[in-house]
């Protein structure tokens, strides 16, 4: 039963449709006030009555004897509050969750629509560090969330594989590199010579010219330069793929910056034809003075293109290739101006789809003693973070449950889950100061807490065994039981809200609420009890809780071990 729809159909206000009522129905902040509420303030002007009077009249017009699924309807300070029949509600909600199983929370609202998501976008020959964590796991969570809502989703890793730094890396490799060492140690070996180059460049500025010369050779298709460039790319992708696998992250496209080398000119030509491209000190720009923004620089005086040029070429290519309904860019808020500028340029080109380009900004990650810098070698490798988290998880398991089967596998699931959750548990725009102790804290509002609650559900279900008894849902209608069921019923809406606001933290906060309520219910009520019909109801609630926790964790890319 769609309770919101049923309530909307009960309300009869001249000139206001059931659909409008449906859209106005909300959840009270305090569940003691009811399960749904209708604010009557918007009707005051139309009906020329005070909201309190309107709520009272609407209340009097509802016959509870004909609507036994309602327990009571109350008028409170201009709100009409609806309290559902708790046993009936529990039966319907828990039955729905158990029937849908792993599909609970999913919908087909996005059917026929395509969303492109640009995330992670690692740089070739540079380490996958903790600063890449947010874009990677936020983007991957949004990928799964949109998939769950029926959208066709295209995950894009816009590789940073172009620029003078690659000429510098070739110069560094020619001076101090060793192919066998790089094949053995991967990105760390490349990282070392890259950092050394920038250190020595300070004393010997001529190295910068040498780096630019090697990059020119890459642009010109020089055999040695392109072979080394391809080697660096291969080494990088091989290594980051291992990390993506650990994180449960996937992509449908690895088209990086270099892919758009031959796709920028048509965009520049169109800008020229429309009179949007102007010269400024030898460079080509789009003037944005009218929009309180600096000019969008697209071609430098020496003819070199920039990030904005490539991003525009990529957007045109994606529109042509995927005909997206939305194209999301999961990039730190430091790039706010960059996206505002070239989004505006696309709008000035009179492309209607400019409004479908969305910068999903997130906060920066820094170390406790300052910002990270790849050039200076100040980074925390993500692989090391994951390894430390997994080790700590293993230590805790050995201490608390030494006989647990598959300890290594579960330690990996718990440790990696803790790190992923750390980047998703708060509003994405919040800055993060990376601290090992905080990230690896397994108490409180963490992924291990959610995983442990799921494992507790499994343990209860296994201990009770299966039965086909008719559940007596009066056994789950206590204050905490009713609140838990009410919250479980909202999962689908939380998933939709997460997609609408591009905010995976809605799911993380929701799951913490579910786990907290279930654990409270668990401690206040015996699940396995003498009244087997009551026991069946409580077991069904436990199964429903487990389903929602597992489904929610799956959206975040976090696995739920059967036992812990």
* Residues with active-site annotation: 126, 129, 132
Residue 319 C-alpha from the chain's centroid: 23
- CA–CA distance, 32 with 82 (Å, rounded to integer): 11
- CA–CA distance, 75 with 557 (Å, rounded to integer): 43
- CA–CA distance, 361 with 291 (Å, rounded to integer): 21
The answer to whether the CB of 115 falls within 8 A of the CB of 29 is: no
- Eight-state DSSP code of residue 356: G
- Please write down the long-range contacts of 339-346, taking CB distance under 8 Å and 24 or more positions apart: 340/293, 341/288, 341/293, 341/294, 341/296, 341/308, 342/296, 342/308, 342/311, 342/312, 342/315, 344/288, 344/291, 344/293, 344/296, 345/271, 345/276, 345/286, 345/288, 345/296, 345/308, 345/312, 346/312, 346/315
Burial 85-124 (b: 16+ CB within 10 A, else e): bbbbbbbbbbeebeeeeeebbbeeebeebbbbbbbbbbbb
Question: Tokens 């010997």, residue?
Answer: 204
The answer to whether the CB of 291 falls within 8 A of the CB of 344 is: yes
- CA–CA distance, 543 with 454 (Å, rounded to integer): 9
- CA–CA distance, 11 with 16 (Å, rounded to integer): 9
Give me the count of residues in the chain.
564
Residue from 255, 249, 250 nearest 424 by CA: 249
The answer to whether the CB of 555 falls within 8 A of the CB of 248 is: no
- CA–CA distance, 423 with 64 (Å, rounded to integer): 47
Q: Alpha helix locations (H) across 26-185?
A: 44-47, 51-60, 86-100, 133-148, 164-176, 179-185
- CA–CA distance, 26 with 34 (Å, rounded to integer): 10
Question: If you compute the radius of gyration of the chain from its CA atoms, what whole number of angstroms results?
Answer: 28
For residues 180, 183, 186, 189, the Cα torsion angle rounded to the nearest 10 degrees is: 10
Strand partners, 160: 123
Q: Which two tokens stand for residue 335?
A: 């790039």
Q: Which two tokens stand for residue 243?
A: 């990390």
Query: What is the SS3 assignment for 109?
Result: coil
- CA–CA distance, 102 with 94 (Å, rounded to integer): 14
- CA–CA distance, 457 with 521 (Å, rounded to integer): 12
- CA–CA distance, 213 with 173 (Å, rounded to integer): 14
The answer to whether the CB of 250 falls within 8 A of the CB of 264 is: no
Question: Tokens 């053995």, residue?
Answer: 184
């Amino acid at each position: 039963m769609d309770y919101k729809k049923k309530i909307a159909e009960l309300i009869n206000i001249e000139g206001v449709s059931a659909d409008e009522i449906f859209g106005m129905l909300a959840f009270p902040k305090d569940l003691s006030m009811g399960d749904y509420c209708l604010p009557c303030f918007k009707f005051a002007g139309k009906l020329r009555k005070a909201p309190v009077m309107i709520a009272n009249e609407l209340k009097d017009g509802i016959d509870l004897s004909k609507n036994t699924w309602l327990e009571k309807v109350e008028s409170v300070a201009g709100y009409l509050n609806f309290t559902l029949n708790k046993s009936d509600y529990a039966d319907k909600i828990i039955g729905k969750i158990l029937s849908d199983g792993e599909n609970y929370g999913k919908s087909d609202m996005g059917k026929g629509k395509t969303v492109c998501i640009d995330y992670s976008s690692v740089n070739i020959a540079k380490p996958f560090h903790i600063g890449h964590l947010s874009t990677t796991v936020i983007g991957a969570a949004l990928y799964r969330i949109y998939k769950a809502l029926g959208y066709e989703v295209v995950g894009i890793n816009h590789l940073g594989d172009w620029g003078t730094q690659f000429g510098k890396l070739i110069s560094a490799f020619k001076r101090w590199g060793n192919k066998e060492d790089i094949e053995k140690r991967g990105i760390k070996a490349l990282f070392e010579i890259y950092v050394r180059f920038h250190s020595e460049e300070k004393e010997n500025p001529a190295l910068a010219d040498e780096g630019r010369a090697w990059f020119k050779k890459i642009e010109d298709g020089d055999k040695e330069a392109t072979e080394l460039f391809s080697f660096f790319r291969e080494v990088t992708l091989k290594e980051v793929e291992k990390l993506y696998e650990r994180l449960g992250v996937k992509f449908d496209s690895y088209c990086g910056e270099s892919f758009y080398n031959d796709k920028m000119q048509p965009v520049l030509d169109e800008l020229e034809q429309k009179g949007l491209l102007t010269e400024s000190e030898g460079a080509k720009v789009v003037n944005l003075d009218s929009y309180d923004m600096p000019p969008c620089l697209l071609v430098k005086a020496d003819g070199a293109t920039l990030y904005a040029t490539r991003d525009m070429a990529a957007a045109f290519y994606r529109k042509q290739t995927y005909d997206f309904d939305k194209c999301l860019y999961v990039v730190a808020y430091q790039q706010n101006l960059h996206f505002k500028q070239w989004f505006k340029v696309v709008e000035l080109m009179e492309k209607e789809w400019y409004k479908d380009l969305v910068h999903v900004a997130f906060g920066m990650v820094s170390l406790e003693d300052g910002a990270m810098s790849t050039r200076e070698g100040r980074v925390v490798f993500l692989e090391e973070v994951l390894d430390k988290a997994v080790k700590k998880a293993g230590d805790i398991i050995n201490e608390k449950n030494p006989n647990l089967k598959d300890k290594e596998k579960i330690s990996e699931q718990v440790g990696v889950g803790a790190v992923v959750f750390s980047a998703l548990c708060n509003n994405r725009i919040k800055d993060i100061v990376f601290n090992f102790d905080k990230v690896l804290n397994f108490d409180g509002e963490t992924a291990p807490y959610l995983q442990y609650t799921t494992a507790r559900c499994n343990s209860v279900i296994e201990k009770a065994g299966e039965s086909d008894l008719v559940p007596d849902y009066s056994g789950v209608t206590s204050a905490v039981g009713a609140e838990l069921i009410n919250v479980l019923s909202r999962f689908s809406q939380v998933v939709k809200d997460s997609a609408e606001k591009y905010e995976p933290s809605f799911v993380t906060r929701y799951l913490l609420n579910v786990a907290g309520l279930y654990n409270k219910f668990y401690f206040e009520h015996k699940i396995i009890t003498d009244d087997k019909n009551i026991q069946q109801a409580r077991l069904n609630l436990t199964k429903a809780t487990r389903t929602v926790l597992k489904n929610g964790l799956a959206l975040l890319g976090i696995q739920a071990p059967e036992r812990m």
